[in-house]
Amino acid sequence: MKKPKWIVVTHGGAGSSKKVLDAVTLAARTGMRMLRKKNSALDAVEEAVVVMEDDPRFNAGTGSVFRIDGTIEMDASLMDSEFHCGAVATIKGVRNPIRVARKVLESPHILLAGSGATEFARRMGFTYHSPVTRRALRRLSRVQGWLRSGRLPKYAHKWKSYSLDTVGAVAMDSRGIFATSSSTGGTSIALPGRVGDTPLIGCGIYAGPCGAVSVTGVGEAIIRQVLSKSVYDKLVAGRSASEACKWGISLYDPSIPMGIIVVNADSGAGASNTGMPVCILAR
Ligand code: GLY
């Protein structure tokens, strides 16, 4: 069978509703348009994620959930198979954390966090943007109600009550370079300063000469398995994109929402143990 020239796979988060599939598809089409115009896989995964960060239905960029103290902190990262990588953690007040992560990638550093990340963004020309939405405010008031009443959902059996809908993309360009990206507002019941898998290379994302991986779900569970690198290693061992996704999901109890997207030179694939809107486009 003829190998595809370009591939883009996007997801709208483990546990997200199918109702956001329109934006997940628009994100993938945006990525494909970039590739058709001879942009890099890195450009494609950045622009795909920007589409979802700008859609207030996702927990990324505008629409990100609040921490329990009523602040919004966002994480984002991207990487390509030539090992260029950049990430931001707990950044505040920017419209597109993924664009700041791209600027970090172009700097001598890989990960900037907290006030340093926000200050870096301002110096790079990213003006203040409030990511607050009515939906996130409603969620904050529900969570603060839980906390006040002492009915905080417990880890491992009520993860589905957390907000997890991270967004992500993987792509292959016409040069055979792979790239991956991810962006999130984190989980909605979290302390300020909490960092999940998304900005950690090897956990939320990984790319190398055999393909690219982006994952979504409970950050703490993903970090323990160094999930993206572990799934990538299955590609190195010769497994297909679909087999690698399924293997990654099999590591988790079904009560822990988890989703994985993968691209290699043959195909793109996605798998999840819960609802996860995915779009796979190849040409
Ligand atoms: N996977 C997103 C997070 O846990 O922050």
Q: Does position 161 have pLDDT exceeding 70, yes or no? A: no
Ligand 1 atom nearest the C-alpha of 216 is: 1
Does this model's pTM top 0.85? My answer is yes
Nearest residue (by CA) to ligand 1, atom 4, is 219
Q: Ligand 1 centre and the CA of 20: distance in Å?
A: 18
Q: Is residue 200 scored above 70 in pLDDT?
A: yes
Say which residues have a Cβ less than 8 Å from residue 107's Cβ, sequence separation at least 6: 86, 120
Residue 275 has pLDDT above 60, yes or no: yes
The per-residue pLDDT for range 111-146, each reduced to its tens digit, is: 999 999 999 999 999 999 999 999 999 989 988 888
Residue 157: per-residue pLDDT: 42
Section 163-181 average pLDDT:
92
Report the share of the chain in percent with pLDDT over 70: 95
Find which of 36-40, 163-167, 255-259 is predicted with most confidence, using mean pLDDT: 36-40
* Whether residue 198 has its Cβ less than 6 Å from ligand 1: yes
Active-site positions read: 166
For 216, other C-beta atoms within 10 Å of its C-beta total 32
Summarize pLDDT for 247-267 with one digit per residue, the tens: 999 999 998 899 999 999 999
Q: Is residue 159's pLDDT more than 80?
A: no
The pLDDT score that the predictor gives to residue 103 is: 98
- Taking the CA of residue 186 as reference, the ligand 1 atom at the shortest distance is 5
* Dist CA 75 CA 188 (whole Å): 13
Q: Ligand 1, residues 191, 222, 224: which to mutate, most atoms within 8 A of Cβ? A: 222
Q: Is 183 in the pocket of ligand 1 (CB under 6 A)?
A: no
Q: Which CATH superfamily is domain 7-282 in?
A: (Glycosyl)asparaginase (3.60.20.30)
Return mean pLDDT, the chain. Answer: 94
- Is the CB–ligand 1 distance for residue 219 below 6 Å? yes
Q: Domain extents for the chain?
A: 7-282
What's the pLDDT at 156? 37
What is the mean predicted confidence (pLDDT) over 174-186? 97
